């Protein structure tokens, strides 16, 4: 659950916006006014509710996706030891 709280400071009060993003990570932002904090929270809630882009291939299996992903990872500039670790991990969690 998101919240907005006022924190009193010596010079000026600050409004804290506390929320969780789409991945569930807790985020904290600050604003100068309560209205600004409410607008900021509303914007973040809208961002969280926007779905990601639709998949171009809806009928793909997990095994096929794994093979595509390994090709992409292999061309990603990893060192050979990093790449063998990734392939080994995916192979033991796959089929």
Write the pLDDT tens digit of every residue in 40-80. 999 998 888 877 666 677 788 888 888 887 787 778 777 87
State whether 68 and 44 are in the same domain: no
State whether 10 and 32 are in the same domain: yes
Q: Are the beta carbons of 38 and 51 closer than 8 angstroms?
A: no
- Biggest alpha carbon–alpha carbon distance for the chain: 61
State whether 19 and 44 are in the same domain: yes
State whether 45 and 66 are in the same domain: no
Choose between 92 and 15: higher pLDDT: 15
Question: pLDDT averaged over the chain?
Answer: 84
Q: Which of 33, 1, 46 is nearest to 19 (CA)?
A: 1
What pTM, to 2 d.p., does this model score?
0.53
- 57 domain residue, yes or no: no
Structurally, how many domains does the chain consist of?
2
**Owning domain of residue 76:** 62-93
- 66 domain residue, yes or no: yes
What is the rounded CA–CA span in Å between residue 91 and residue 95?
7
pLDDT in tens, 29-39: 999 999 999 99
């Amino acid at each position: 659950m998101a919240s907005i709280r006022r924190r009193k400071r010596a010079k000026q009060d600050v409004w804290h916006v506390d929320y969780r993003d789409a991945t569930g990570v807790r985020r904290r932002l600050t604003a100068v006014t309560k209205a600004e904090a409410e607008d900021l929270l509303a914007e973040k809630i809208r961002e969280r509710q926007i779905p990601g882009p639709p998949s171009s291939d809806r009928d793909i299996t997990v095994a096929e996706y794994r093979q595509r992903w390994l090709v992409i990872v292999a061309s990603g500039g990893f060192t050979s030891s990093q790449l063998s670790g990734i392939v080994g991990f995916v192979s033991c969690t796959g089929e």
